Chain A
């Protein structure tokens, strides 16, 4: 295969990754890893570098739209980023000692969790009484309703959310993905943040978290130009298309199909990982 062919195929694949990542809210990195490792046989340590680029591109590409609508809770995001960036740096350090098969198995289990969490009903947690800690940290906020009014929300269990965010950061440092699933578990499941706020805030945090490990990865040479170029451009345009389509499309069927695809890839990764095929 020539460099030209490889670049074009990867560019198209990355476009789809960005599109799917933004439509399903999972980020581009999730699709980029199997694309590189299973389709092209790329070493996981290169693939993670590519996934990081994809995660930052999706976060910044689709994040700008959400921030403008005022749904994202910037204080909440910033506070939890302390946890995710510490985790991400630790993950990037740990990744050096992990072989391909171990990374594949970890990735597979994160995908499984993602598929399971996609089935859980999303809640707005109306009437949650906030904790004192959350009040002192000024984490309460408002979010716009369909009729244009603002609705106030409170949240709780700041410590628990922070702890899960450390794990989320660690996983994104090892895998290069946004680990949005753990972020949403922390915010939606533990801290009782309204679902829409937790998804957008998670997306908002993904870029900064990925940066914390990307600075480590770029120094080690894991982010190789021949892969980063098509991934960056493809994912970015894919995410922009996705953000535009999301306003018009009903993506429930797509999300269900994507969930099946995730399960297949997850089992493939876990099986091949344990069999030591990577």
Chain B
């Protein structure tokens, strides 16, 4: 009982660490391009947010497709967003790993519980694709 649990915990610990490292590196690349290109410009206006035109922001994307396109054309904002996506994926990957481990342990109750958590998150991500 305790040995496989430790394996699971080690793996999760490593996933979290690698995930945040990758997210941080990608964001740093984006941040460097952003400051190099736009550092001297005045700060954008963040004092009012409107949901009405949120979908068509001129300077960043709200879909994975848009973000990937932007990354390929070296857009700073897209690189930063890719970093944020990597950061968000880290805990999700953690849930996936737990699911795999509960399957390995044949702990069907927790396979179901973990699958529910995963489904809740994925159900709400569809608009990203």
Contacts and interface: CB of A to CB of B under 8 A. Distances in A.
A41 B47 contact: yes
B68 interface: no
A159 interface: no
B interface secondary structure, majority: helix
**Range of interface residues on chain B?**
35 or more
Contacts of A1: 42-43
A181 interface: no
Contacts of A211: 88, 91-92, 121
Main secondary structure of the interface of A (DSSP, over half): helix
Q: Which of B17, B54, B77, B84 has the most CB of A within 10 A?
A: B84
Contacts of A208: 91-92, 94-95, 117, 121
B17 to A, nearest CB: 5
Contacts, number: 200
Interface string B2-29: 1001101110111011011001100110
B88 A60 contact: no
B83 A81 contact: no
Contacts of B95: 78, 81, 208
B34 A229 contact: yes
Given A56-B90, A212-B121, A221-B62, A74 B98 contact: yes
B72 interface: no
Interface in B78-117: 78, 80-81, 83-85, 87-88, 90-92, 94-95, 98, 107, 109-110, 113-114, 116-117
Given A57-B20, A215-B128, A68 B120 contact: no
A208 B98 CA distance: 12
B13 to A, nearest CB: 4
The 5 A-B pairs at the shortest CB distance, nearest first, are namely A207-B91, A45-B49, A4-B39, A225-B80, A221-B54
